[in-house]
Structure 1
Amino acid sequence: MKCYECAKNEKDSDVLGICIVCGRGVCKDHLMREKIPKWDGEYDIKLSCMGDSCKIKDMQPMLKIVCTPCHDALIGNQ
Structure 2
Amino acid sequence: MLKCYDCFEKSKDTEAVGVCIVCGKGLCMEHIKEVEFPMKGGYPLPNLNLKKGLPRMMCRECIDTVFGEDMCV
- Please give the range of the TM-score, normalised by the shorter of the 2 chains: 0.5 to 0.7
Aligned to 1:35: 36
State which structure, 1 or 2, has the greater radius of gyration over its C-alpha atoms. 2
Which consecutive segments of 4 or more residues in structure 1 shift more than 4 A?
none
Matched, 1:67 2:59: yes
Counting aligned pairs with the same residue, the percent is: 34
Name structure 2 gaps, 5 residues minimum: 40-48
Count residues with an aligned counterpart.
Answer: 60
Q: Report which structure shows greater RCO (CA 8 Å, sep ≥6).
A: 1
Q: How far off its partner does 1:23 sit?
A: 0.5
TM-score between the two structures when normalised by the length of structure 2: 0.68
Name structure 1 gaps, 5 residues minimum: 39-56
CA RMSD of aligned residues (A): 2.5
